Amino acid sequence: MEKIDKTLFFDIINNFAIVPFTQSRGYIEMSDGGNQNRYMFFVDSLEKPSIACAGYIMKRFGLKLLIIDGECLCDEKNIDSKKIRDFYKEIAQAGFDMVEVSSSLPYNALYEIGIRQAGFLKPVGLFSTPLTIVVDLQHEISYNKQRTVNLKNTEKFSLALEYVQNPTDEHINRYVVIHKEMSDRKQFIDTVNFDRIKILLSDTNFYLFFVKKGKNYVAGNIVYARNNAAIGVYSCTSFEGREVYAGFFMKDKIYSLFKEQGYFTFDYGRISPAAHKKNNLFIAKNGVKGDYLLYCGEWSWYKRQIYRPLMYFVKKYLFKRVEV
């Protein structure tokens, strides 16, 4: 395993088959806030790279934590448990007190064997579901009965999808306003702001869409698309948009657009079936007839055993994250 600089990292993964949006240039530059020391970059081999990742460095309570949100793979079809083991074993020895991984790779037993052999375990509690829905764009897209009715209802409102090829500051502001309105309505913590979205959209693998009702912008969506696969990143609907089923209209038109462009799949980017209000979002996403997929999910390594329950306490009670 080699530690490399940011420029070399993006040069290497440019030709990789799998680069999740959380490892893209736009997302990393959005997340680092201009601090070049926020991320550390790794590759298994400079001569023949097959796995690489960027890790976010966090310092809390005198401890140093590395957060790895997804991995980049040169070849998605040939996961090697030994390479996974060696890669993460060396990362665990890179001078951190804790390493946490959230993998968005489709579940593969060889990945689990490798990361377990590197000393990683499932964390005490899970705060992101390893489940998603993947829509096959190569076949006819179909919906359940309720989603079909909702789409039929959109015909009454003369809605239109707008793809913004070159987003201006005005477009970004419009998106941020809709997202804030939705977050306030749902009482979510909103991390979306103008500067972050502008940086994200500077990466041409991110696509911005709006739904318009007349002259009003009533919904927005940001999609990451690369190597014939698309995934939803951010989505928002205004109160007016909810009244005219704009979210359902938007997704249907986005599927059709990527299908026409030759993309194979659209990933919802995690679903959250639950016994509380988050289940409403799952019900909305579950209206499309896609394939349920299990990600490799969350894994953690701790220098000291006591850090395992400690991190659960910090996430749940200090950071107020919802366990899933």
Asked if pLDDT for residue 135 goes beyond 90, the answer is yes
CA end-to-end distance (rounded Å), the chain:
33
How many Å apart are CA 214 and CA 191, to the nearest integer? 29
Of 253, 269, 285, the residue at which a domain comes to its end is: 269
Residue 287 confidence (pLDDT): 83
Is 138 in the same domain as 265? yes
196 token code pair: 């972050």
Q: Give me Rg for the CA atoms of the chain.
A: 20
Residue 120 and residue 86 in contact, taking contact as beta carbons nearer than 8 Å: no
What pLDDT, in 10s, does the model give residues 209-259? Answer: 999 999 999 999 999 999 999 999 999 999 999 999 999 999 999 999 999
CATH of the domain at 234: 3.40.630.30
Domain membership of residue 284 (yes or no) is: no
Asked if pLDDT for residue 276 goes beyond 80, the answer is no
Is 162 in the same domain as 260? yes
Mean pLDDT computed over 253-266: 96
Stated as kind and residue range, the H or E segment containing 47 is: none
233 token code pair: 């990143």
Residue 186 confidence (pLDDT): 80
Of 269, 288, 307, the residue at which a domain comes to its end is: 269
Residue 200 and residue 30 in contact, taking contact as beta carbons nearer than 8 Å: yes
Is 117 in the same domain as 144? no
Domain membership of residue 282 (yes or no) is: no
Domain membership of residue 323 (yes or no) is: no
Q: Give the type of residue at 156.
A: K
Count CA within 13 A, CB hemisphere, residue 250. 29
Is 98 in the same domain as 14? yes
Residue 280 confidence (pLDDT): 79
Domain membership of residue 153 (yes or no) is: yes
What pLDDT, in 10s, does the model give residues 149-193? Answer: 999 999 999 999 999 999 999 999 999 999 999 988 887 777 899
Asked if pLDDT for residue 300 goes beyond 90, the answer is yes
Q: What pTM value is reported for the model?
A: 0.93
User: Per the structure, how many domains does the chain have?
Assistant: 2
Residue 304 confidence (pLDDT): 94
How many Å apart are CA 290 and CA 311, to the nearest integer? 35
**Which residue in 6, 91, 89, 73 sits closest to 41, CA to CA?**
6
Domain membership of residue 49 (yes or no) is: yes
